Amino acid sequence: MQNTSPLPIDYKTHILIAVRGDGVMTVVCDWPHLPSLAEVQEQIDASASGYAAFALCTPTSILPVDRTGGARDKSRSGRWA
């Protein structure tokens, strides 16, 4: 993954996700701004073949990570736990 953003992820971040035919997703690139179509196409062209689709996304939720290494509360676990 090429990270063109020196800043932490925020609500203005744009993330290019590649999706394989089996549904597995991979982050290809991220930008701290709305990228031009040419920037997005350049990253798609540079990605390995075998992807069925690409999605340009912005985060709707940003979840913090417990940086102390402790386990997350499993009572609230779900798909994103």
**Of 77, 28, 22, 21, whose CA–CA distance to 57 is shortest?**
28
Res 75: pLDDT: 54
Res 69: pLDDT: 66
Distance from C-alpha of 52 to C-alpha of 22, rounded to nearest angstrom: 9
Averaged pLDDT, groups of 10, the chain, 81 residues long = 61 95 95 96 92 95 79 53 43
| Ramachandran angles phi, psi of 54, nearest 5° | -130, 145
Res 41: pLDDT: 96
Residue 18 buriedness (CB in 10 A; 0-12 / 13-18 / 19+): buried
How far is the CA of 10 from the CAs of 55, 80, 81, in angstroms? 18, 18, 20
